[in-house]
Amino acid sequence: MFESAEIGHAIDKATYDAAVPDLREALLQAQYRLKAQAKFPVLILINGIEGAGKGETIKLLNEWMDPRLIRVDSFDVPSDEELSHPPAWRFWRRLPPKGHTGIFFGNWYSKMLEDRVHGRIKGAELKLATARAQRLERMLCDEGMLIFKFWFHLSKDQMNARLDSLKNDPLHSWRISPLDWQQSKTYDKFVRYGEQILRLSSRDFAPWYVVEGADERYRSLTVGRILLEGLQAALAAAEQPGQSVAQPHSAPLQVDLDHLSLLDSLDLSQKLDKDNYQQQLAEEQARLSRLLRDRRLRKRGVLALFEGHDAAGKGSAIRRVTGALDPRMYRTVQIAAPTDEERAQPWLWRFWRNVPERGKFTIFDRSWYGRVLVERVEGFCTPEEWLRAYSEINDFEEQLVDADIVLVKFWLSIDKKTQLKRFKEREDTAFKRFKITDEDWRNRERWDDYGHAVADMVDRTSTEIAPWTLVEANDKRFARVKVLRTLNEALEAAIEKGR
Amino acid sequence: MFESAEIGHAIDKATYDAAVPDLREALLQAQYRLKAQAKFPVLILINGIEGAGKGETIKLLNEWMDPRLIRVDSFDVPSDEELSHPPAWRFWRRLPPKGHTGIFFGNWYSKMLEDRVHGRIKGAELKLATARAQRLERMLCDEGMLIFKFWFHLSKDQMNARLDSLKNDPLHSWRISPLDWQQSKTYDKFVRYGEQILRLSSRDFAPWYVVEGADERYRSLTVGRILLEGLQAALAAAEQPGQSVAQPHSAPLQVDLDHLSLLDSLDLSQKLDKDNYQQQLAEEQARLSRLLRDRRLRKRGVLALFEGHDAAGKGSAIRRVTGALDPRMYRTVQIAAPTDEERAQPWLWRFWRNVPERGKFTIFDRSWYGRVLVERVEGFCTPEEWLRAYSEINDFEEQLVDADIVLVKFWLSIDKKTQLKRFKEREDTAFKRFKITDEDWRNRERWDDYGHAVADMVDRTSTEIAPWTLVEANDKRFARVKVLRTLNEALEAAIEKGR
């Protein structure tokens, strides 16, 4: 969930200085249009890692925009008066009216997260609290409110560096929070439960935006752009005559400011020589065969799914997985266009029918992620449909994991040059020609669109219960061994946990 | 929540026989239109009290409609295959395709309800299960499905009579369920937890319909009419060009078949003579004053709200409540049209700002129920808005009760004749003339519409945590004493429970 926010996004000063004046001007204009329309309010929730620039961003927004139309509230220790009312009362009294913007620094999420981190509530209570938050937000959105939820993120190293620098700065030492962030365990818990909250509460009507907080310029421009584009879309929608009250959430899920995407951050030069490959492949295949026969896995299903660029080698990686297995031990499901019968059902139905039962191993060659990849990019479904698909997928996978299914998800990644080479090879080799179609060439033209869709997908569906594994697949040998090893490690972890 | 389904609804044979042919014909036509459009499926969930006619209704629907387009599934003990998949798998595999109707007899609700009744899960788990069900239904509706949820109800006496009659009938003895329904405790738990499930899972996109099951003819016609009207509305909407996927749920919340409404079932002839009244009033006022000073209530807020017909005597009843109290002990909130500031906020905001704090007593003269009464009847809000208001209100009141507020809700009911008499008195008495306006006369013309709105309101918001008290108010003395006594009993129960 935080993958794209740990890759070192940064913006240089010149680019930043060039971009800010227009952004500020546009934000101000949007703000005045919001005030003039007076049709809906805007609420910005600020959460995330200590030191990731939450406070700085709020200050900046007040500087960039007209502060008379923004109200910042921080909800820290509740007042006596607040304590003597129902918990939500303190938020209700601070809601921004139509035409205005409210920034909640510390909000319903910070409370439940801190309670969970400090062991004051258990897992079930956190889930109930998230469900309550979701009902509240649903109601606010039904009443017209436009909600932005920002999670400011730092990797653990980034956070430690940041806290160290603050500690030595007498001007900023007040910033050290009461939470003992120096403890490595606190960070881990915060991120773990934070991820859980984000997974359960990121919905199409009020999605979370995760922003890498290390570089101030990147962080500021990103927040500004997301706000601007979301606001402009909502303002335009509110001007339509027959417009429904609920605001469409049309901010981009990520803004591509520094052209550094999650996939670009992979080291695709990793390889394995032939000897090493053959040895490791044989070892991992034997290990897989042994693990799948382990009686402690008998009560669990196993599901491995493969997505990836065209020609990234999904098929050949799958063949290496199944290579050492008895055909009765696994089943491969090829996902292509849905049948008529499948089209007459909710979109997840065709995947539900192929969920492995206890003790079985199912491999999905492409999967439900087509909804947020090809269907999104090619326009086979509406933005509303693929936007809500992220939470539908997370709900679906939660059920798989709750039913003790070991779920392993692979994205096989290659670069554009490697793809071209492989496409040409396919065209030049008679027995491979069936593998290359006009569609592959068309998809290739949308390389960048697919890249954004993949980054959104990983950011929104790589969860603590069902993480993505990104596989560097320029070298097929490296990719195959990494796939097998990851799968084996997941199975071992499952056996270990089941003890 | 089950108020309207315990008043002895019945349809005579002649009316029934006259109504059925047209209903069947219309249902069949709707079914064929559904098939021809093939745009969305219909799912009917059947739940409720043992012996309330669940099975009979399913049989009847199969008889009335084309059984080739209906599939009935009952989900009782899961098969081995079902047990080895995630729990929802058994429902997914049976979902009706577009153009078809599925009836789920036994479904996600029956499972969680039985688990709760038999103590296999606790309160928090029931809430989580309901939240999961809601996410599933939300997704199905987003994908276009039209969902009807029926709860077939019997009062405890009705159920016992029904079970007795079945027991003596050799043809029907197989119907006795494995659940030991003969035990009075089972019924109580079933109704209590059932009500909780209905409160949490009745949403605008998939509301519950509670049907009194004692009279077969009434039950059958009611279900038929709700299905027909909901189907026809959804079919018409699906034919609109720019129609969104989600089906509007436009079935009436109740169908007025036997013209017996909840308010008609009240015995308005109840009265108190002057001597008794004065004695009881003084007693109850003293008791209230004593209770409100009880230190065990110091940590709790008290909220009493008054709704009722125009001229039903809300104001004078409130004056009797406050009569014996020190003005510092209470606050009265008059709800009229919202201010500009209130209009710029979500509709519940103006009530949130008046929620009593710990240790305080607040009286609402009219309340948030205006949303589903005057605003609904006069068209001040859209059907979507008042439909979702029921669950918004239940969520709101749950928060009040969770914050230890004692919540008491009164509907003061008079008949049309009494209202006329009081209107005329007001016009004839100089110092009362300010109390009667043209608006009162206009409201009076919509007497029946208000009656339906009140019945819907009570059925959908009288919950185990916040029940309605219907006050027979033709006799003002009787009404005042009943109000005071009910309030006192609620306070005593709260003190008792808090020990």
- Using one digit for the tens of pLDDT, what is the confidence trace for A304-341? 999 999 999 999 999 999 988 888 889 999 998 899 99
Question: Token pair of B79, please?
Answer: 């098969």
The reported pLDDT for the residue numbered A85 is: 92
A263 vs B15, residue with greater confidence: B15
Q: Is pLDDT of B272 > 50?
A: yes
- Residue B351: closest CA among A146, A89, A98: A89
- B375 touches A at CB < 8 Å: no
Q: How confident is the model at residue B257 (pLDDT cuts 50, 70, 90)?
A: confident
For A87, nearest residue in chain B (alpha carbons): B403
CA–CA dist A358, B85 (Å, integer): 6
The reported pLDDT for the residue numbered A243 is: 59
- B76 touches A at CB < 8 Å: no
Q: Is pLDDT of A432 > 80?
A: no
Compute the average pLDDT of residues A404-418. Answer: 95
CA–CA dist A392, A203 (Å, integer): 9
Using CA atoms, how far residue A460 sits from A56, A319, A467, in Å, is: 25, 29, 10
Give yes or no on whether B3-239 and B262-497 have one common fold. Answer: yes
- Residue A159: closest CA among A179, A140, A141, A144: A179
pTM of the model: 0.88
Compute the average pLDDT of residues B367-391. Answer: 92
CA–CA dist B454, B460 (Å, integer): 10
Could you tell me how many CB contacts below 8 A there are between chain A and chain B? Answer: 120
Q: Is pLDDT of B51 > 90?
A: no
Whose structure tokens read 């994908």?
B143
Name the strands in the sheet holding A361-365, side by side, starting at the edge strand that comes first in the sequence: A330-334, A361-365, A302-308, A406-413, A468-472
Q: How confident is the model at residue A245 (pLDDT cuts 50, 70, 90)?
A: very low
- A340 touches B at CB < 8 Å: no
Give the distance from CA A179 to its chain's centroid: 26
Q: Which residue of B79, B93, B108, B142 to mutate against A (max A Cβ within 10 Å)?
A: B142
Q: Which residue of B202, B247, B399, B400 to mutate against A (max A Cβ within 10 Å)?
A: B399
Sign of torsion, CA A310 A313 A314 A315?
positive
Q: Is pLDDT of B179 > 60?
A: no
CA–CA dist A97, B350 (Å, integer): 12
Give chain B positions within 8 Å (CB) of A348.
Answer: 92, 139
CA–CA dist B457, B478 (Å, integer): 24
- B87 touches A at CB < 8 Å: yes
Using CA atoms, how far residue B413 sits from B270, B317, B434, B447, B464, in Å, is: 12, 12, 22, 12, 22
Query: What is the full DSSP assignment across B28-50?
Result: HHHHHHHHHH-S--EEEEEEE-T
Q: Give the start-to-end residue ranges of the domains of chain A.
A: 3-239, 262-497
CA–CA dist A404, A359 (Å, integer): 10
A307 vs A174, residue with greater confidence: A307
Q: What is the DSSP letter of A464?
A: S
Compute the average pLDDT of residues B406-411. Answer: 97
Helix (H) or strand (E) holding B96: none
Q: A139 vs B349: CB contact, 8 Å cut-off? A: no
Using CA atoms, how far residue B118 sits from A422, B182, B197, in Å, is: 62, 15, 15
Q: How confident is the model at residue B5 (pLDDT cuts 50, 70, 90)?
A: confident
The reported pLDDT for the residue numbered A454 is: 92
Range with lowest mean pLDDT among A477-486, B121-130, B181-190, B364-373: B181-190
Q: Is pLDDT of A137 > 90?
A: yes
- A355 touches B at CB < 8 Å: yes
Sign of torsion, CA A441 A446 A447 A450?
negative
Whose structure tokens read 């790589």?
A462
- Which homologous superfamily is B262-497 in? P-loop containing nucleotide triphosphate hydrolases (3.40.50.300)
pLDDT tens string B430-462: 777 777 888 888 888 899 899 889 989 998 999
Are B106 and B135 within 8 A, CB to CB?
Answer: no
- Residue A247: closest CA among A199, A198, A204: A204
A379 vs B178, residue with greater confidence: A379
- Partner residues linked to A413 by β-bridges: A472
- Residue B209: closest CA among B248, B254, B164: B254
CA–CA dist A52, A163 (Å, integer): 10
- Largest Cα–Cα distance of chain A, in whole Å? 79
CA–CA dist A185, B457 (Å, integer): 50
Sign of torsion, CA A460 A466 A472 A474?
negative
- B258 touches A at CB < 8 Å: no
For B85, nearest residue in chain A (alpha carbons): A357
The ipTM of this complex is 0.86
Q: How confident is the model at residue A175 (pLDDT cuts 50, 70, 90)?
A: low
Compute the average pLDDT of residues A41-58. Answer: 92
Give the distance from CA B291 to its chain's centroid: 30
Our CA dihedral for B336, B340, B342, B343, rounded to 10 degrees, sits at: 100
pLDDT tens string A212-243: 999 999 999 999 999 999 999 999 888 876 65
Q: B41 vs A353: CB contact, 8 Å cut-off? A: no
Residues 6+ apart with CB under 8 A from B308: B314, B410, B411, B412, B413, B414, B471, B473
Number of Cα atoms under 13 Å in the Cβ half of residue A172: 12
Task: Provide the residue type at A490 as one letter.
Answer: A
Quickly count: other Cβ atoms within 10 Å of residue A424's Cβ: 11
CA–CA dist B351, B368 (Å, integer): 7
pLDDT tens string A17-47: 999 999 999 999 999 999 999 999 999 999 9
Q: What is the DSSP letter of B95?
A: P
Query: What is the full DSSP assignment across A38-59?
Result: -S--EEEEEEE-TTSSHHHHHH
CA–CA dist A243, B413 (Å, integer): 39
CATH placement of domain B3-239: 3.40.50.300
The reported pLDDT for the residue numbered B245 is: 47
| A475/chain B closest Cα distance in angstroms | 37
